[in-house]
Amino acid sequence: MSYVGRFAPSPTGPLHFGSLLAALASYLDARANNGTWLLRIEDLDPPRESPEVKEQFPEILEAYGLLWDGELTLQSERSDLYHSVLQTLIEQRHAYRCNCSRKQIIERCDNLVYDRYCYSHPPQQDASCAIRVKSEDSLISFRDIIQGPHAYNLNSTGDFVVFRRDQLFAYQLAVIVDDEQQGVTHIVRGSDLLDETARQIHLQQLLGYPTPAYAHIPVATNLEGQKLSKQTFAEPLRADNPAPVLIRALHFLNQNPPAELHNQQRDDILAWAVENWDIRNIPQTLSKPLLMEQ
Ligand code: GLU
């Protein structure tokens, strides 16, 4: 089986050092395995996105020498595909329409675990509805390449939304449809998505898709221990001096770049990193918070 990896950022904020760690780790793992590496922009949520940020993604990745294979894909252009998968889930009674408001759920449901009310009381056809997938009372287990064995009972979080009440597709649905459709075999991404993985595997099983291998890298935090993100004002990645940032990222991924590499150019650094890549060196968590000193 040939290796297909991908980087799948959402344009809800500029790429930052934490995004670079995910991009670099997935790129190096693909290249070290003679694999294909895809770039997919997950632009499913226009109200939270910025068109400028979306345009910058390919430019920044090119500046860091992280060149993807084939055409870049945009989820915003793939709605027909998501619609047809949604229909399949509904026809097979794995998914159902739900028009409960957040207020109703807070009032009615323990720990916000949805009580499946709309499954037995279908809303009127003209109501604006979310679509939920039924969870199951069984353990979903998987072995993450970095984080080790995980087991999760989806009933603890309940039936989840794959199509939102504001008529936007949810990340959970689009991500598994695209990974399957693009033949992705290995997913290397931040461990903030580890908890989403069981729901994604559940969907893959319902739809008869293969489950890719997962490797969740530790999430970079600021000095307060908060995940780097737009909300925590993470410094956007700059395109002008990638070499030292790549070296720092390799240290964070515990790849032990030698001192001589520190004076090298971007492409030499990447070539060394592909040659010496060892995913087993990546720690499960980062021992020190990341100070953004750019
Ligand atoms: N688009 C998601 C994000 O930016 C990542 C999706 C994934 O890697 O599965 O958080």
Stretch 170-193: mean pLDDT, rounded?
97
Same domain (yes/no): 222, 233: yes
Sequence-distant (≥ 6) Cβ neighbours of residue 173 within 8 angstroms: 82, 85, 86, 162, 163, 203
Whether the pLDDT of residue 21 is over 60: the answer is: yes
CB 202, CB 136: distance < 8 Å: yes
Same domain (yes/no): 140, 274: no
d(CA 113, CA 110): 6
Same domain (yes/no): 106, 47: no
Beta bridge partners of 210: none
Same domain (yes/no): 21, 93: no
Domain count along the chain:
2
d(CA 278, CA 94): 40
Sequence-distant (≥ 6) Cβ neighbours of residue 290 within 8 angstroms: 17, 18, 220, 221, 222, 228, 252
Stretch 77-103: mean pLDDT, rounded?
97
d(CA 172, CA 89): 13
- Is the residue at 147 inside a domain? yes
Same domain (yes/no): 139, 18: no
Same domain (yes/no): 150, 219: no
What is the distance in A from the centroid of ligand 1 to the CA of 138?
A: 26
- Is the residue at 289 inside a domain? no
In this prediction, residue 110 carries a pLDDT of 87
Same domain (yes/no): 89, 62: no
In this prediction, residue 293 carries a pLDDT of 46
- Is the residue at 266 inside a domain? yes
Q: Roughly what angle, to the nearest 10 degrees, separates helices 171-181 and 79-91?
A: 100
Same domain (yes/no): 268, 207: yes
CB 229, CB 236: distance < 8 Å: no
d(CA 207, CA 78): 18
Whether the pLDDT of residue 126 is over 90: the answer is: no
Where among 129, 146, 171 does a domain terminate? 171
Whether the pLDDT of residue 35 is over 60: the answer is: yes
Q: Which residues line ligand 1 (CB under 6 A)?
A: 8-10, 42, 175, 189, 193
Same domain (yes/no): 190, 137: no
Beta-carbon-side half-sphere exposure of residue 278 (alpha carbons within 13 Å): 9
The string of pLDDT tens digits covering residues 184-231 is 999 999 999 999 999 999 999 999 999 999 999 998 877 777 888 777
Where among 121, 148, 171 does a domain terminate? 171
Where among 116, 142, 171 does a domain terminate? 171
- Is the residue at 287 inside a domain? no
Residues spanned by the domain of 90: 79-171
DSSP per-residue letters across 246-284: HHHHHHHTT----GGGGGS-HHHHHHHHHHH--GGGS-S
The string of pLDDT tens digits covering residues 273-294 is 999 999 999 999 876 665 544 4
- Is the residue at 204 inside a domain? yes
**Mutational test site, ligand 1, from 24, 171, 194, 197, max ligand atoms within 8 Å of CB:** 171
**For residue 9, which atom of ligand 1 is closest to its CA?**
4
As a whole-number percent, the residues of the chain with pLDDT over 90 amount to 87
- Is the residue at 288 inside a domain? no
Strands 130-133 and 95-98 turn out to be: antiparallel
In this prediction, residue 264 carries a pLDDT of 96
**Mutational test site, ligand 1, from 4, 16, 193, max ligand atoms within 8 Å of CB:** 193
Stretch 93-121: mean pLDDT, rounded?
94
Mean per-residue pLDDT of the chain: 94
Return the higher-pLDDT residue of 221 and 27. Answer: 27
Q: Roughly what angle, to the nearest 10 degrees, separates helices 242-252 and 17-32?
A: 80
